[in-house]
Amino acid sequence: MDAFSDLIRGVRAHGSLFGSSTLSPPWSLHFVDGAPLTLCTVLTGSGWIVVPGSPPERLTARETIIVRGPSTFAFLDSPDTPAAPLACGEHCATPDQGGTRHRLGWADEGHGDTTLIVGAYPVQGASRVTTLLDALPVVLRVPSGGAADAVLDHLAAELAMDTPGQQVVLDRLLDWMLVCTLRDWFDLPGTSPPWWAAQRDPVVGAALRLLHTDPAAPWTVTTLAARTGVARSTLAKRFADLVGEPPMTYLTRWRMTLAADLLTDRDPATIAAVARQVGYSDPFGFSAAFKRVRGVNPSEYRRCGGLPVASAPG
């Protein structure tokens, strides 16, 4: 398990593809749900994405933008369109709106149809996903030509059909599209958080995979260094230089992120059981570590359903 895979596990599309209905310019569609993550890709044609507080972004065929919530946004034929806004949210997926697919476009001669794909992502494991969201700007743009292009070909083919199980296929394709888009963006110069680049280091990357694969193990810098095949001092320095904090500090913060999600699960375990799941045999030691990292004790955090406090890894 690598750090990115661990962070994105709680992000899943569910009935969030919009396909099928044609609009003539001027048109203005406002997506009002404010989902934690929304992916927008134009398959054909073009349009403008407008997010409050950010400059308008022209989106042409096979380009992708991800909008980080809680921002809402609009998809327009022009930034100064005179069209009255049409609110588009959960109601777009009702049967009278064509199911979960709602194609957006126009049929002007010389332009052809514009097809916009929108994947709105709810959050499962809020603390884990917050760590991913914290690494993203409000609007990120990835040009065509990256790894996501192959996914677009599959999406286009699936949109042309109407077969049983199609929504499940489309949701999984959107998940694939999101992962490819984020990987392409993190690989752009100057955009990645420390843990992304550190994953590619042969020593620190191996240490991160060990910590994420088995965070409850009784890790020490010595045991971690032995598993990665370097001296203790080498691992400690290299890890701190690339990740920005010592290995055990990173591990503690990540354990508390996992614990925060376990504490607010729909079928929550006892605090002692949560402590054991994240590597603490003593619930009192776990409670002290949780309060030190998250700012409140586990019982209070659970009672409040999760509080907007610091998350990890940074």
237 domain residue, yes or no: yes
| In a domain? residue 111 | yes
128-141 pLDDT, tens digit each: 888 888 889 999 99
pLDDT at 106 over 60: no
What per-residue confidence (pLDDT) applies to 103? Answer: 42
Evaluate if residue 49 carries a pLDDT over 70.
Answer: yes
Residue 247's domain is classified under what CATH number? 1.10.10.60
Is residue 47 located within the same domain as residue 173?
yes
Instruction: Say what percent of the chain tops pLDDT 90.
Output: 39
pLDDT over 80 (residue 200):
yes
Same domain, 168 and 281: no
Residues 251 and 296 in one domain: yes
Residue 113 lies in a domain: yes
Other Cβ atoms less than 10 A from the Cβ of 38: the count is 24
The total of structural domains in the chain comes to: 2
Last residue of a domain, one of 132, 154, 186: 186
For 212, 251, 286, 292, the CA distances from 245, given in Å and listed in that order, are 16, 10, 20, 16
CATH number of the domain to which 91 belongs:
2.60.120
Q: Are residues 106 and 222 in the same domain?
A: no
Same domain, 168 and 54: yes
Q: Are residues 137 and 277 in the same domain?
A: no
For residue 211, is it within any domain?
Answer: yes
Q: For residue 312, is it within any domain?
A: no
202-227 pLDDT per residue, tens: 999 999 999 999 999 999 999 999 99
List of E strands, the chain: 28-31, 37-44, 46-50, 57-60, 64-68, 73-76, 86-88, 115-121, 139-142
Q: In terms of domains, do 203 and 145 share one?
A: no
Q: Do 99 and 215 sit in the same domain of this protein?
A: no
232 shares a domain with 209: yes
**pLDDT one-digit tens code per residue, 10-22:** 787 766 555 444 4
Q: How confident is the model at residue 93 (pLDDT cuts 50, 70, 90)?
A: very low
The residue segments making up the domain with residue 181 are 3-186
Q: How far apart are alpha carbons 197 and 131 in whole angstroms?
A: 16
Confidence (pTM): 0.81
- The average pLDDT across 115-124 equals 76
The answer, yes or no, to whether residue 115 has pLDDT greater than 70, is: yes
Task: Using the predicted structure, report yes or no on whether residue 312 has a pLDDT greater than 50.
Answer: no
Q: Report the alpha-carbon distance of residue 201 to residue 205 in Å, rounded.
A: 5
